[in-house]
Structure 1
Amino acid sequence: KVLREFWPYTQEGREEDSIDRLVPRAQIDPQRDGSLITADLNIAHTQWQAVYRRTDPTDFVKNILPEEEEEIVRAALTRGVVRTLATTTIDDLLRPQAGGTRAISQRALEVAQSTLDRMDAGITIEQFELGRKTGSTSKAGNSPRRPRVRGTHPPLRRHHRDGPGPTPKVDRVVSQGPRPDERRSNRCHHARSTHHLPAADQAAA
């Protein structure tokens, strides 16, 4: 069984075209294109190959209708892929090492088999392998997303020399003497007081 639920739409008869021949689109059409969301919120496309067989006829007869067998197995496989890719980053998925691909396939198989076992389906998945894989084929989704860094400071604004600069803050008082306007006011007040003294007081002074 080949799983193409997570592969971009291709014309009939061209399902096996190479990844390089996939035509980039402006955006993914969820009605036609299959896709997955990875752990780091990137879009990925994958194909899978599965082999399964009935291993417990009694459970199968009791719990599975023959006409629903393929649909049930497909749903279990799909669940395994979705849950596995949700915990896999795009870099880990696209890494060319075979060991990484086998680990992803094994996790997906375990989730799918667990789903069937809980149903007592009497079905065993013997092989479930990740085949072709690629990142987003849409023009808007080719660049991997990066996590946002919180707590960064906003950039400092540069003031032009000919423009008004910021008003400096006074951290402490340097001098406690009177300001020029206060000294001028005191002199005027003293002059007015001297001018109005009585003649006797002035003579005494």
Structure 2
Amino acid sequence: MDETSPNIEADAPPALDPAQQSLSEALRVSFGILKIVMVVLLMAYAFSGTFSVGSNEVALRLRFGNYVGSPGQRVLERGTYLAAPFPIEQIVKVDTRPSTLLLEDEFWFETTKNDSGLTRSQLQFQKAGPLHPLRDGSLITGDSNIVHAKWALTWRITDPVAYLTNIGSKEVAQELVTLTSQQGIVHSIARLTADEILRGIVNREQMLGLIQQRLDDMRTGITIDQVTLDKVSAPLRVMRSFDAVTSAESDRARRIVAAQQERARILGETAGEASEPLLDLVNAYSQATELEDPAHAQEIETLIDTALLELKINDSVIGGDVARVMNKAQTYRTQITEQIATEAQSFSQLLPQYQLNPRLVMTKLWEDAREQILTGDVETFYTVPGQLELQFNRDPEIQKERQKEQLRSQKKAQEDAESNR
């Protein structure tokens, strides 16, 4: 071999032993796995900003502390969204469900756990002393009286941007709504009397407007939906006096209702469904008479007469006692008319005979009258000439018949009255 030729075996890298080859292979695999893990972590980090918004909440995205989106598109409603991962972007969710605020102690007299089972009379006995301003809550009314009340308010977040900017937490919002509501209630009650408040006559719209105006002035993003007066009470020291007034007013209202019902019953029995318009005509006639307006009175009297004859007024049928009396009068009128017509006809027939022989006609008329008088349910007594001494012994059979006839007449009258009702 030529000495100047290159030494191929000397220039080649030394061969690795099996241990080194195993280590090299392990490192190559480890770096491959590490690359995969890093890619997975990068992808997980990139998609870690995915979030969802529920039905009772909204969300806002903050990028480096600033709201993302135009003013009208900052609030994210229900759905799934993708945002840049923290700390680039931050997601803030706001609960929009209605919340209830109970003002049970702020304007109520002091109570303890031992008072929960006591009746109002027992509370009056135990707490009959003067109010303590540091322990007893109260409200001053517009007529300088004191009342106690419990209130309930419903509020919710309607402007999440303003809420997060100026409030930031539910606890602060609850405290702010409490203070604002107390102020609005105090101002509203100061415009009312104690009697109105104890009756529950409270202008809730005005009260709600006062509270809402103060919240809007502070740009809280909170809306008051409802203000409810749960319970109201006079001071226990004067509770009996207020109860006496309330009882008297309740009795007055009850008597008024009873009087109205009695009035409706009497008018219904008097003229039926047409009682009100008929009563209006009667009152108008009385008023025209008092004002000495004979023309108007005559006009109204004509309307009344027409209504009574037709038993109808303004498409309403006149019934009751008025209809019964008018029907009876019409029947009597018909009977009298027929009777007079019959008598006129009889006398017209007797006139020619009377002109021929007056004595004979008079005798016949006397006989007819005597027969008519003495025939039927009549007791007849005959006397003899001379000294007259009368001793009457009335016929019992005739008295019985008269009583029976009277009972039958009364029964028929009751049946007619019931049928006309």
TM range (shorter): 0.5 to 0.7
Give the structure with higher Rg (CA): 2
Q: Which residue of structure 2 aligns with residue 43 of structure 1?
A: 146
Question: In the superposition, relative to structure 1, how do residues 70 and 20 fare at CA in structure 2: closer, same or farther (>3 Å)?
Answer: farther
> Per chain length, whose mean CA-contact separation is higher, i.e. which structure has more relative contact order (CA < 8 Å, sep 6+)?
1
SS of 2:176's equivalent?
helix
Distance 1:60 1:110 in 2: 19
Q: Which residue of structure 2 aligns with residue 108 of structure 1?
A: 207
Question: In the superposition, relative to structure 1, how do residues 88 and 42 fare at CA in structure 2: closer, same or farther (>3 Å)?
Answer: same
Q: Which residue of structure 2 aligns with residue 87 of structure 1?
A: 191
Q: Which residue of structure 1 aligns with residue 180 of structure 2?
A: 76
Structure 2 stretches of 5 or more lacking a match?
1-100, 243-421
Distance 1:17 1:140 in 2: 15
Shift of 1:65: 3.6
The residue type equivalent to 1:7 in the other structure is: W
SS of 2:185's equivalent?
helix
Shift of 1:68: 1.4
TM-score by length of 2: 0.30
Shift of 1:25: 2.5
Structure 1 stretches of 5 or more lacking a match?
144-205
In the alignment, does 2:222 pair up with 1:126?
no
The residue type equivalent to 1:2 in the other structure is: L
SS of 1:138's equivalent?
helix
Question: In the superposition, relative to structure 1, how do residues 129 and 140 fare at CA in structure 2: closer, same or farther (>3 Å)?
Answer: closer
Post-superposition Cα deviations, 1:4-30, rounded to whole Å, max 9, x if no partner, equal 210111113856977555333310011
Distance 1:75 1:69 in 2: 10
The one of 6, 16, 22 equivalent to 2:123 is 22
Q: How does 1:1-205 map to 2 (within 5 A)?
A: 1-4=101-104, 5-12=106-113, 22-23=123-124, 24-66=127-169, 67-95=171-199, 100-101=201-202, 104-138=203-237
- Figure out how many residues of one structure are paired with residues of the other and give that number: 138
**Bigger helix share:** 2
Distance 2:180 2:141 in 1: 19
The residue type equivalent to 1:81 in the other structure is: I
SS of 1:77's equivalent?
helix
Q: Which residue of structure 2 aligns with residue 165 of structure 1?
A: none
Conservation of the 8 A alpha-carbon contact between 2:142 and 2:190:
yes
Shift of 1:138: 3.0
Shift of 1:105: 2.2
Would you identify which runs of 4 or more consecutive aligned residues in structure 1 move more than 6 Å?
15-18, 140-143
Distance 1:140 1:20 in 2: 9
Shift of 1:134: 1.3
RMSD over aligned Cα, in angstroms? 2.6
Conservation of the 8 A alpha-carbon contact between 2:115 and 2:123:
no
Moved more, 48-57 or 18-27: 18-27
